[in-house]
Amino acid sequence: MTVHYIVSPGGALEGRVRVPGDKSISHRAVMLGSIADGITRVRGVLEAEDVLATLQAFRQMGVIIEGPTSGRLTIHGVGKDGLNAPSAPLYLGNSGTSMRLLCGLLAGQPFDSVLTGDASLSRRPMRRVTEPLRQMGAKLETTPEGTAPIRVFGGQTLQGIDYRMPIASAQVKSALLLAGLYASGETWVEEPAPTRDHTERMLSGFGYAVWRAGRRIGLAGGGRLHGCDLDVPADISSAAFFLVGASIATGSEVLLEHVGVNPTRTGVLEILRRMGARIEVLNLRQVGGEPVADLKVAYAPLRGIRIPEDLVPLAIDEFPVLFIAAACAEGETILTGAEELRLKESDRIQAMAEGLQTLGIDAQPTSDGMIVRGGKLTGGEVDSHGDHRIAMAFAIAALRAQDTVEIKDCANVNTSFPGFADLARQLGLKIEVVQRG
């Protein structure tokens, strides 16, 4: 049996909601809290399958973690050198963040470990992480294709490096910084473009010195982390579905509460505003080192744009639903410089282009993006390819469709946004969740 969404056409989104906690920050809170000295208390953690996979991995390595209960965790940190060898492979489900960051953190441990994942994660490229880690002295083995399972050999002597990333990637940067905690000397990472900086911010919050010099981020090995209290903001990647939904559906007005608006994550706001969206940032404040705000969005006619390439890394996870905005906009939207989208949970460029074409939209995939010509969405059956963000994006598309939209293979929505269908229904989306044989 597989989970399908059946979404009736039309309607509007109205109301105020708080979407679940930020996935990127939740992962890092579990990881850093586990290797800190003392207790770390976390509020607002995302109780989704990806984060639970990270949590389970650290439990397998001997960390006592209470919860999650109503978004709260209490992590009894074991210190930077206190993890134990797991008795079995660490299964990380669909979570690329877990696997890539753990490669860095485990590279400095005295014990061997094996990282595995589901079929989707086992197809995703890992050389971008394993190759620079090997330059630091780490020993890792992958399949001949450079994919999981990954064996990380312990007891290696790591040396800090100065690494210039060929492609902007917060996961690669974070993996190298985590390995740098265990390396002798300094580890520096230079980004070709800004990427999300949650790791740097959180390391500082745990009392670990992190240096920034333009697009270079560095730290010295050998320090300690100290337990602290963390408040995880609502995830802007999850909020993005309702930002687009309210923008495309006549009569909509939604207030999204307590959303993280870290400047390395707000590309979706800038892109939508350039398309003509009406989005207000209200009650801007700092919570646990992260900027947070309430986002008010109302319907507005959208227009196609050429998306600036410098905004691509700042909105990389939001493009599936941004393609829906483009389909509902007047004129042509052109995306370039987004090759990374082909290496996510699915090939998001191809999968979104095929789904949009099924719904009557002129969408032409390119090697590094897409050209979308706005038009009228029909109805039909689209395949999410087991990708949570594609499933939710096409559910939102039904707001402007002329007939029912059925989305296949939606179970993986639980990796990032448990309760999506209920929350969307509360705001006015006509969505049903069904089982298909």
> Nearest-CA neighbor of 320 among 299, 300, 345?
345
Tokens of 44: 């607002």
Place of tokens 């999650």: 68
Confirm if 243 and 279 have CB atoms less than 8 A apart: yes
Place of tokens 């903001």: 233
Residues 42, 54: Cα–Cα separation, whole Å: 15
Confirm if 197 and 184 have CB atoms less than 8 A apart: no
Confirm if 266 and 292 have CB atoms less than 8 A apart: no
Residues 102, 115: Cα–Cα separation, whole Å: 8
Residues 247, 252: Cα–Cα separation, whole Å: 7
CA distances from 391 to 371, 407, 408 (A): 20, 6, 8
> Nearest-CA neighbor of 86 among 104, 112, 123?
112
339 half-sphere exposure, CB direction, 13 A CA radius: 6
Beta strand 37-43 with 229-231: parallel, antiparallel or unpaired? Answer: parallel
Residues 6+ apart with CB under 8 A from 153: 112, 138, 139, 140, 141
Confirm if 195 and 313 have CB atoms less than 8 A apart: yes
If one counts every other C-beta atom within 10 angstroms of the C-beta of residue 274, the result is 15
Amino acid at 399: L
**Exactly one of 317, 383, 387, 409 is catalytic; which is it?**
317
Confirm if 327 and 372 have CB atoms less than 8 A apart: yes
> Nearest-CA neighbor of 46 among 230, 170, 202, 199?
230
Tokens of 421: 């269908």
For 60, the enclosing helix (H) or strand (E) is helix 49-60
> Nearest-CA neighbor of 322 among 247, 250, 256?
247
Residues 286, 314: Cα–Cα separation, whole Å: 20
Amino acid at 402: Q
347 is annotated as an active-site residue: no
Catalytic residues: 317
